[in-house]
Structure 1
Amino acid sequence: MQDKVLKLIDDLDTPFYLTGGTALSRCYLNHRYSDDLDLFVNDKPHFLKIIDSILINLNKKFKVNVIIRSKSYASLMINDILKVDFVNDVSFRYGKLEKKVIYSKVDNLENILSNKLSALISRDETKDVVDILMISKKIKVNWKKIFSDVNSKAVGIFPIDVSRRLIDFPVEMIDLIKWTDCIKYNVKSFKTDIGLLCDSILKIT
């Protein structure tokens, strides 16, 4: 279902790019299953017109329920199984988009990471902690640059606060994650890796 919806939207040549957990797992890490699609643009004045065009075409092939439709956010449920969120985000976005097999415009790892750090402060979701850790294991992160990028989007997000959230995370919650077969994580090793991650983040303070 994800592939069919992404192909339809991709064929419309809209400015939306794929980001979030599905982009992260299917295009970069293959670490967990993500059920939703997150499609973003950055400060587009004709956001709703683009959404309406997408809706017209989605309705030709799927059963579409519009959950929310506002000037900066739209949420759809497709065939009662696939949630698709469209976001008109702030103007700043770090780095370039990448072309992948499943979609021609996919967010880069650094920008996904900066969004995940912002999300970590504003909500309690196991997937954010998991994704932050897994990205940090995939690439060498310039934490000073990443926190500068984060604060270009949402002011007031600091290394000490992020580290505290990570350290306080109840690691047994990782059992709720739908891991792929190639990832084997237990509570002890996850806790150890979180500690190492926090050490690297706090080195910039």
Structure 2
Amino acid sequence: MSKIITDFQDKVLKALAGKIDDFYLVGGAALSLYYFHHRESQGLDFFTTSYNKKRVEEIVKFLSASLKRKADLVAEQPKKDMVRISVYTITINKEEGLKIDFAEDYIGLIKPPKSINGINIASLEDIYIKKICTIAGTSHEEDLTGRKISKGGRQSAKDFFDLYCLSHTFMMLSEFSFKFCDRLTREGIIRWFHSYGRLDIKTGLLELELKKAVDYRDMERHFKREIKAILEKEADLA
């Protein structure tokens, strides 16, 4: 990612400082900018437990005027029976823009966010659980026996790397999953590990701008141990 985008990210956060106390920064940007400094993030993700479309439009209008940049709505899900989200791109120049998501937090918070330089930042626990739900999926269906199983979930190199850093640096995935996740979510984690495309993840990791190179094989072995630990503990509880 070009320095132009990282510098513009900083300008956006400074412009919003003290102006969006009802939102908190999550995802890869929060993890990289305020905790691990492990990779470059190409966007900003703001969550809120009290989503309001007019409030989002108010924030974007203010931001556009403050930075003297055009803001375009590129995606939206406004229905109340689904997770509501508005995705904007703020123009930087003719070639580049910064993607900003404003989303409804359907999971809720484990810990209160902390304010850093006027921006609310989600806790590591909250970033972690949201990363897990992203890869494990949050929707469920019944199998042929009537048992609920998880489905969906995203498979991307950035989630893979972020989850590895959280598990390796903050709290082991197996430990976190039993402390904060239910059985269906743990099943989703196991399904994710067995189904993600290894080649796609390897290729995607090469495209990320990492602050320090990490061997894919080490990450794969780490997840393999953690999945084994989850399965063993599940067996003990059965």
TM category (shorter chain) comes to 0.7 to 0.9
The answer for the alignment partner of 2:204 in structure 1 is 176
Q: Cα gap change, 1:68/1:165 in structure 2, threshold over 3 Å: closer, same or farther? A: closer
2:187 is equivalent to residue 160 of structure 1: yes
The one-letter amino acid of 2:210's match is T
Q: Cα gap change, 1:13/1:117 in structure 2, threshold over 3 Å: closer, same or farther? A: closer
The answer for the alignment partner of 2:224 in structure 1 is 195
Which of the two has higher C-alpha Rg?
A: 2
The answer for the alignment partner of 1:95 in structure 2 is 111
Give the conservation status (yes or no) of the 8 Å contact 2:114–2:121. yes
Give the conservation status (yes or no) of the 8 Å contact 1:14–1:50. no
Deviation at 1:50, TM superposition (A): 1.5
Once the two structures are superposed, what CA deviation does each residue of 1:70-125 show, in whole Å capped at 9, x if it has no partner?
Answer: 54211110014100000022262211212335x53101111111111111122222
The alignment partner of 1:11 has SS state of coil
Aligned pairs (5 A) from 1:56-71: 56-60=61-65, 61=67, 62-71=69-78
Distance 1:136 1:124 in 2: 17
For structure 2, list consecutive stretches of 5 or more residues without a partner in the other structure. 1-7, 79-83, 137-152
Distance 2:39 2:202 in 1: 11
Distance 1:41 1:78 in 2: 20
Query: How well do the aligned residues superpose, as a CA RMSD in angstroms?
Result: 2.2
Give the conservation status (yes or no) of the 8 Å contact 2:110–2:125. yes
The one-letter amino acid of 2:176's match is N
Give the conservation status (yes or no) of the 8 Å contact 1:167–1:194. no
Aligned residues: 194
Distance 2:77 2:15 in 1: 22
The answer for the alignment partner of 1:128 in structure 2 is 159
Alignment counterpart, residue 46 of structure 2, candidates 39, 43, 55: 39
Q: Cα gap change, 1:66/1:189 in structure 2, threshold over 3 Å: closer, same or farther? A: same
Once the two structures are superposed, what CA deviation does each residue of 1:158-177 show, in whole Å capped at 9, x if it has no partner?
Answer: x2331231244344423423
Matched-pair identity in %:
23
The answer for the alignment partner of 1:118 in structure 2 is 133
The one-letter amino acid of 1:180's match is L
Distance 2:40 2:232 in 1: 32
Distance 1:201 1:85 in 2: 32
Q: Cα gap change, 1:91/1:118 in structure 2, threshold over 3 Å: closer, same or farther? A: closer
For structure 1, list consecutive stretches of 5 or more residues without a partner in the other structure. none
Larger strand proportion of the pair? 2
Distance 2:224 2:63 in 1: 45
